[in-house]
A = this chain, B = another copy of it.
Amino acid sequence: MLKWYEEKSLPTDIIISSRVRLARNFSDYPFAAKLSDEKAKDLVREITDKFMGKKANEESEYFCCNLSNLSEVDKNAMVERHIVSPLLADKKQETGLILSDDESVSVMINEEDHLRIQSVTTGMDLEKVLKKANEIDDYITGNSHIAFDEKYGYLTSCPTNVGTGLRASYMCYLPGLSVAGLISSLTEELARYGVAIRGIYGEDSKSIGNLYQLSNEKTLGKTESDILEHLNEIMDQVIRQERKRREYLITNNYNELEEQIYRAYGVLSYTKQITSNECMSLLSDIKFGIDQGFINLNKELNIFKLMMDIQPANLQYKMGKSAGNSLRNRYRAEYMNQCFKNALNG
C-alpha cells in the first residue's frame, strides 16, 4: 500500500503536507504526570483493544502496538517520519501506537496526553485531515468520559493545549525565503499572529533541506474552524512571499541557481559517501530544480519521500541491519546514485 506521501495529490512545491493533531484525555484516568505504571498499561490496552481488527481502509486494518515491542531503529525511523514524537519514543512508561497502513492516521497513547490523534495528507488540505482526526476522536472517545470543561473546552496536560486541543500545521518547503535570510524575521512576525515556524530535521532555529513547519500556537478561546481559517490566511501570505522570493532569485541569479542544481544532480549521481545533512541540502536543490523547471527527470521521483528515506534510522531500516555512520553514508550514496544516475532528460 502507498504511504500518504506517495499518493498523487495537490501541488507540493511549497506546502508539502497538512497535519492536525488532537490532544485528548480521559476523566477516569489520572493525567500523564500522575499516571501509575499500572494505569498506563490499562490505558494502552483499552485503546489498542478498540482498534484490534478495525479496518483503516478497504485494504487493511490498523496496526496496533506497544512501543516497548519496537526496536530502537523502528522507533527512530517513526520519529523521522513524524509518526511518533521523540517524547513517546523515549518514554519509560507503557506507551502505545495505532497506525494506519498508509501512515496517514496515527494515535499516540500515553504521550503528554492520554491521546494524541494525528492525521496527515499531502498538499494544502487541513479540512480533510481535521475531518479524519475528528472521526477517529469520535470512534475512540464516543462512549468515554472525556476531560472536558464547559468553559475552557478539552483539558490537557499542558495549558497551551487546553481548548480545542488542536494543533494544525503545514510542512512547507521555503527555499526562496530561506536563501534570502528571511526565515528569522518571518518567525518573529508570525509569532505576533500566534503562528510558530520550526525547522524540521535539524536544530529548531535552522532547518535542513529548507523544510519548515508552520503551526498555530493558540488553542484556547477559538473554534477549530477559526484556527484553520487563521492559519490558512497566514499561509497564503507566506506562499505569496515565497513565490516572490523565488521569482526574484530566478530573475537575478538564474545561472548560479542552474549551476547549483546541476552540480547537486552530478554529486548525487556519483557520490560514494554522503551525510544526511549534505544529502538533504542537495535534495532540496534538486526539488527546487524540478519544481521550477530547471531540470527535467525521466522518471518520477518524490523528493520529499527521499528526504525521509535518507534520514539515519529510516536508512538503517532500509538496509535491514544496524550500521555505523560511515557505512550508512555509503549506503545513502548508493541509494542516491540509483535514484539519480541517468535520470536526467536532455
A342 within 8 A of B: yes
**What are the residues of chain B within 8 A of A259 when measuring CB–CB?**
271-273
A255 within 8 A of B: yes
Flag the segment in A6-14, A28-36, A108-116, A260-268 that touches B.
A260-268
Of the residues B258, B263, B272, contact of A258 by C-beta under 8 Å? B272
What is the count of identical protomers in the complex?
A: 2
The closest CB in chain B to the CB of A255 belongs to B273
Residue with the highest number of chain B CB atoms closer than 10 Å, among A263, A266, A268: A266
Q: How many residues of A contact B (CB 8 A)?
A: 17
Assembled-state Cα–Cα distance A255/B329 (Å): 11
A269 within 8 A of B: yes
A270 within 8 A of B: yes
**What are the residues of chain B within 8 A of A269 when measuring CB–CB?**
266, 269-270
**What are the residues of chain B within 8 A of A263 when measuring CB–CB?**
266-267, 270-271
Q: Bits for A117-130, please: 1 = Cβ < 8 Å to B, else 0.
A: 00000000000000
**What are the residues of chain B within 8 A of A344 when measuring CB–CB?**
270
Assembled-state Cα–Cα distance A255/B273 (Å): 8
Q: Bits for A266-283, please: 1 = Cβ < 8 Å to B, else 0.
A: 111111110000000000
Shortest Cβ distance from residue A99 to the other chain B in the assembled complex, whole angstroms: 38
Is there contact, CB below 8 Å, between A255 and B272?
yes
Is there contact, CB below 8 Å, between A272 and B262?
yes
Of the residues B262, B270, B342, contact of A262 by C-beta under 8 Å? B270
**What are the residues of chain B within 8 A of A268 when measuring CB–CB?**
266
Assembled-state Cα–Cα distance A326/B259 (Å): 13
Assembled-state Cα–Cα distance A178/B342 (Å): 34
The closest CB in chain B to the CB of A326 belongs to B255
Is there contact, CB below 8 Å, between B258 and A266?
no
Is there contact, CB below 8 Å, between A266 and B255?
no
Assembled-state Cα–Cα distance A334/B301 (Å): 26
The chain A residues found within 8 Å of chain B, CB to CB, are 255, 258-259, 262-263, 265-273, 326, 342, 344
Given A259-B272, A265-B270, 10 more pairs with CB closer than 8 A? A255-B273, A258-B272, A259-B271, A259-B273, A265-B266, A266-B267, A266-B270, A269-B269, A269-B270, A270-B344
